Structure 1
């Protein structure tokens, strides 16, 4: 897989921090747990050893995944964008639905998406509907719960 992975500066930093934690805290801890479980004798019936080895496999897999994503990262700083008020990756968009409710989303990479932080993935239905549109446009979003309509009130590059 050699395709670029779009992510914001903040998203890339979070992945770097997770990678650092896995390498400097989690990996040494699981190696120690394996050594301790090994010292207890028979490995064929040692649940602690099996659990530690499984955890080690997960950690090593995640380290490889993060290193790959960071190597392929196309880091985009929304502050540097000049998209002429268009909704693009990294943009923060304030929307109003048909009932007059307002919501604000930032369009981010798949690994950064967190609805609690109002960050939606570039591959989500709402982001796909918004990309390329401008303030004042009305968009229809085909979501699992049905079609929803939003008016774009503001596009910002924060």
Structure 2
């Protein structure tokens, strides 16, 4: 957790996490665009010219290529959004909002979890000095539970048997 002695805190840590998010998304984009090119080439390759109306190999490859191109555009937009993201400072009394780095402690087993509230790409995980940080968005269930809360608050997320309780240990 970032509150430990010698651990990085504040804007420096968040900038490092932001840089890692951008790097990871950029790598994902490169891989996806390469896969899209391969799928496009497969869709137009002479071996995939339909021999009859039931031969859909080329059509299927073109659908895959289009889906990958669409996802590539989404990642490209996310990279731009993160590049221009302003990291907001937080103190003990600041309500949680976009760009907060939040450390949560699970009520059932005491495990710690670090989340960065970003505009897109919820679920993306990056490592910061041996600690996993997961990106969540304000629209996610956990994000909705955190927005507007403060350090020291407790939240619940999930439903039924899947309800989890967390204490907000730190907001940076």
Q: TM-score, normalised by structure 2?
A: 0.61
The answer to whether residue 79 in structure 2 is matched with residue 64 in structure 1 is no
Measured against aligned partners, the alpha-carbon deviations of 1:24-70 in whole angstroms (never above 9, x if no partner) come to x2133123312335565636332321221121221222223233334
Q: Is the 1:9–1:76 contact (alpha carbons within 8 Å) kept by the matching residues of 2?
A: no
Q: How does 1:9-158 map to 2 (within 5 A)?
A: 9-23=19-33, 25-38=34-47, 40=49, 42=51, 44-73=53-82, 75-76=84-85, 81-85=88-92, 86=94, 87-99=96-108, 101-109=110-118, 110-114=120-124, 117=132, 119=134, 121-122=136-137, 123-135=139-151, 137-145=152-160, 148-156=164-172
**Structure 2 CA distance for aligned equivalents of residues 39 and 104 of structure 1:** 48
Question: What SS is found at the alignment partner of 1:57?
Answer: helix
Q: Which has the higher strand share?
A: 1
Q: TM-score, normalised by structure 1?
A: 0.65
Unaligned runs of 5+ in 1: 1-6
Cα distance, 1:111 vs structure 2: 0.8
Residue 144 to residue 107, structure 1, CA distance change in 2 (3 Å) = farther
Residue 38 to residue 93, structure 1, CA distance change in 2 (3 Å) = same
Question: What SS is found at the alignment partner of 1:83?
Answer: coil
Question: What SS is found at the alignment partner of 2:45?
Answer: helix
Unaligned runs of 5+ in 2: 1-16, 127-131
Question: What SS is found at the alignment partner of 1:60?
Answer: helix
Aligned residues: 146
